[in-house]
Amino acid sequence: MKPLIFNSTPLIYITKIGLSKILETLEGEKYTTPLVKKEVVDKGKDKGVPDAFILEKLFENNIFTVISPKNQQFLIMLLKTRGLHITDAEVLTVTKDYNGIAILDDDIARKVAKIYVISHTGTPYLLIQAVNEKIITKDRAKQAIQEMISAGWRCSIELYNKLIAIIENL
């Protein structure tokens, strides 16, 4: 099983809707980068965001391994991409370094991943895997998508309908 390399958005939204148990329980290795940890824990705590404190506990309990990118040349090249955030570039570089699966939602980051043939998926994958691994029910997964959207997670109507259909057919 390939390791999962997490970007900020999936960590924030899964935790924000009260499903951090998915992050704890999903099978396989889970990695992220120092900048992602800084963004979701340190900056979140500075803002007083409740999910930052939950994520801090996950890091303290070694649910995630924090890894810096090895291939600095690749990272530098990615950073020249207009609109690609440094956290996205780090996640993509670590994913390439460790032959993992990037868990990210940003459109530009996903396009860059496709160009460089870096395996990637988004937050809904976590919900689908959680249903497959019997961590949550189908109904809870569908509810989670609605809660994420209400919390500000971006999702087109087409994607929403596709996700609901996928979950129903699990």
CATH number at residue 56: 3.40.50.1010
The two beta strands, 30-32 and 65-66, are parallel
Q: Which helix (H) or strand (E) holds 89?
A: helix 86-98
* Rounded distance between C-alpha atoms, residue 66 and residue 68, angstroms: 7
Q: How many independent structural domains does the chain possess?
A: 1
**What tokens appear for 166 in the block?**
């996928």
Structural domain boundaries enclosing 64: 4-168
Q: pLDDT under 70 in the chain at which residues? A: none
Give residue 91's pLDDT: 98
Give residue 87's pLDDT: 97
Phi/psi of residue 102, nearest 5 degrees: -75, 130
Whole-angstrom CA distances from 137 to 19, 121, 141, 145, 170 are 12, 21, 6, 13, 10
Give residue 36's pLDDT: 98
* Rounded distance between C-alpha atoms, residue 59 and residue 57, angstroms: 5
